[in-house]
């Protein structure tokens, strides 16, 4: 049976060829790393080190109770500062700055379990929590909490390998190079949730990654591969659930309410390393691409590496550089400071030239294209009007909180209105209004 299509969506320019052919490389380590105390949904971490302390690679340096995920040193060295620094998502945030001693001295407390196959679901959850693993596809929800919420109520586990944003090939590279480890990590999550069905979903514009999975699946008969027609924003979990299972997550509900859990393939790989190698989450693959960077690549970098160091490792910016985005061009955040660091959820740095600079927006012409493109059945033209008027009651009635900020409406709008940006701001205002 063909996958059920989800409503709306668009087909933006992919640009994946720019970085797809590059081999995964590890550039020289930075002189210092910046580790923000908030790298996940939930409570920011509290430092458990102080300025002047010597730290080892993988050492826990910050943590908190409740919905949180610990942070670990991504290099060995000395704590240089604990201070406010630029954050790629939240503007500014307290961070731990570590001066790299370039020795990568491993933390003596990191030891893999002697019998990973014998671990109970609760022990697996504890290992995932200790490793500081969060959703690495962008949401950054603590993975142990996500899995706990699904225990006993999920019948379908979906590994998300769609990577539908333009330019991004980090997950694709991971599947090509370390597919066996990704699938082994997925099976660990399967042992926790015990679903009836486990699916790895990939869009059909990634033939090499699909071939890598197909050649590895014989070792993992409990996992099904589902190849989906390419369509943005299929990587968004509610749309992916609909494509894979034909189930639609109702407004205001979560995937668990329809018996599903979605995890990113990089999250699966992080779980593998935590359980089989005892390694916390201290590095990740980041795509550096776009028409304004000299040599697009996929880089394996320590978390906390300044964005500027990644661009430098790719030959620097071209003369016509216009915008640097943390994330993809549809949902990413434009950066004002290249000292902002890579965090756990940073999958890409996209550098765009002035050729992408849009003309100033004109008036809405009520063409309805944004309505047809919206994957969650909203009416962006009315939301935009109410957002500009700060009519919070009307925004609530029009279900603004269901907006996933995918950017489809902004992409398709012939008037070039900043719809997504306006909705993002209005959602914050709506939250403050407490309607």
Following DSSP, what letter does each residue of 217-274 receive, concatenated?
Answer: GGG-TT-EEEEE---BTTTSHHHHHHHHHS--PPTT--GGGGTEEEEEHHHHHHHHHH
Work out the average pLDDT over 368-381: 96
What are the backbone dihedrals phi and psi of residue 423, each rounded to the nearest 5 degrees, phi first? -70, -40
Buried residues in 306-318 as b, exposed as e (16+ CB within 10 A): bbbbbbbbbeebe
Residue range 108-123, pLDDT digits in tens: 988 887 788 899 999 9
Joined tokens for residue 200: 């790895």
Note the pLDDT of residue 435: 57
Question: pLDDT confidence of 1, banded at 50, 70, 90?
Answer: very low
Note the pLDDT of residue 5: 72
Question: pLDDT confidence of 361, banded at 50, 70, 90?
Answer: confident
Which DSSP symbol is given to 77? Answer: E
Note the pLDDT of residue 138: 81
Burial of 401 (C-beta count, 10 Å sphere; 0-12/13-18/19+): middle
Comparing CA positions, the residue from 192, 185, 202 lying closest to residue 269 is: 185
Residue range 55-104, pLDDT digits in tens: 999 999 999 999 999 999 999 999 999 999 999 999 999 999 999 999 99
pLDDT over 70 (residue 192): yes
CA 330, CA 208: separation in Å to the nearest integer?
24
Question: pLDDT confidence of 33, banded at 50, 70, 90?
Answer: very high
CATH topology (fold) of 116-276: Rossmann fold (3.40.50)
CA 11, CA 113: separation in Å to the nearest integer?
45
Name 316's Cβ contacts closer than 8 Å, sequence gap at least 6.
293, 294
Average pLDDT, the chain: 95
| Secondary structure class of 117 (helix, strand, coil) | helix
- Sketch the domain layout of the chain as residue ranges: 116-276, 369-433
Comparing CA positions, the residue from 127, 151, 129 lying closest to residue 42 is: 129
- List beta partners, residue 350: 289, 325
DSSP 30-75: PSEEEEES--SSSSPPEESS-TT-EE-BT-EEEE-SSS---EE-SS
Residue range 399-431, pLDDT digits in tens: 999 999 999 999 999 999 999 999 999 998 888
Joined tokens for residue 300: 């394996």
- The alpha helices in 131-163, defined as continuous H runs, are 143-150
Contact 162, 266 (CB under 8 A): no
Which DSSP symbol is given to 114? Answer: S
Work out the average pLDDT over 164-177: 97
Work out the average pLDDT over 384-409: 94
Name the residue with higher pLDDT: 14 or 431: 14
Residue range 136-145, pLDDT digits in tens: 998 899 999 9
Which DSSP symbol is given to 367? Answer: -
Work out the average pLDDT over 383-401: 94
Q: Which residue has the tokens 């964005």?
A: 307
Comparing CA positions, the residue from 270, 283, 282 lying closest to residue 124 is: 270
For 2-16, 193-207, 208-222, 269-283, which range has the lowest pLDDT when averaged over its residues? 2-16
Question: pLDDT confidence of 23, banded at 50, 70, 90?
Answer: confident
What are the backbone dihedrals phi and psi of residue 178, each rounded to the nearest 5 degrees, phi first? -135, 45
pTM: 0.95
Q: What percentage of residues in the chain have a pLDDT greater than 90? A: 91
pLDDT over 70 (residue 3): no
Work out the average pLDDT over 270-287: 97
pLDDT over 80 (residue 433): no
Contact 45, 60 (CB under 8 A): no
pLDDT over 80 (residue 2): no
């Amino acid at each position: 049976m063909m996958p059920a299509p989800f409503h709306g969506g668009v087909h933006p320019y992919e640009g994946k060829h720019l970085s797809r052919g590059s081999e995964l490389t590890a550039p020289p380590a930075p002189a210092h790393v910046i580790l923000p105390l908030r790298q996940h949904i939930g409570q920011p971490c509290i430092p458990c080190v102080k300025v002047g302390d010597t730290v080892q690679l993988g050492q826990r340096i910050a943590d908190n109770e409740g919905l949180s995920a610990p942070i670990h040193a991504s290099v060995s060295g000395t704590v240089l500062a604990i201070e406010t620094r630029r954050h790629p998502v939240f503007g500014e945030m307290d961070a731990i700055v570590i001066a790299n001693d370039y020795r990568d001295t491993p933390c003596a407390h990191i030891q893999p379990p002697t019998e990973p196959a014998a671990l109970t679901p609760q022990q697996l959850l504890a290992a995932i929590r200790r490793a500081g693993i969060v959703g690495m596809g962008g949401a950054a929800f603590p993975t142990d909490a996500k899995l706990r919420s699904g225990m006993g109520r999920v019948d379908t586990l979906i590994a998300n390998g769609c990577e539908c944003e333009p330019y991004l090939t980090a997950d694709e590279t991971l599947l090509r190079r370390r597919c066996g480890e990704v699938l082994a990590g997925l099976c660990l999550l399967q042992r926790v949730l015990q679903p009836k069905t486990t699916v790895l979903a990939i869009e059909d514009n990634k033939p090499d990654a699909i071939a890598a999975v197909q050649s590895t699946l014989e070792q993992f008969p409990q996992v099904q591969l589902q190849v989906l027609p390419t369509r943005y924003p299929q990587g968004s979990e509610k749309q992916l659930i609909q494509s894979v299972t034909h189930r639609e997550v109702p407004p205001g509900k979560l995937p668990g309410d329809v018996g599903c859990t979605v995890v990113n393939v990089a999250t699966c790989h992080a779980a593998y390393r935590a359980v089989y190698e005892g390694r916390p989450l201290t590095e990740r693959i980041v795509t550096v691409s776009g028409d304004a960077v000299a040599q697009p690549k996929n880089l394996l970098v320590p978390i906390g590496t300044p964005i500027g160091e990644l661009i430098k490792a790719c030959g620097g910016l071209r003369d016509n550089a216009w915008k640097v985005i943390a994330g993809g061009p549809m949902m990413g955040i434009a950066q004002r400071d290249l000292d902002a660091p890579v965090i756990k959820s940073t999958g890409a740095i996209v550098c765009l030239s002035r050729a992408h600079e849009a003309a100033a927006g004109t008036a809405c012409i009520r063409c309805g294209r944004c309505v047809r493109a919206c994957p969650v059945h909203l009416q962006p033209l009315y939301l935009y009007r109410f957002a500009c008027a700060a009519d919070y009651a009307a925004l609530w009635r029009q279900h603004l909180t269901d907006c996933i900020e995918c950017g489809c409406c902004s992409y398709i709008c012939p008037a070039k209105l900043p719809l997504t940006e306006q909705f993002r701001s209005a959602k914050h205002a709506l939250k403050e209004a407490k309607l």
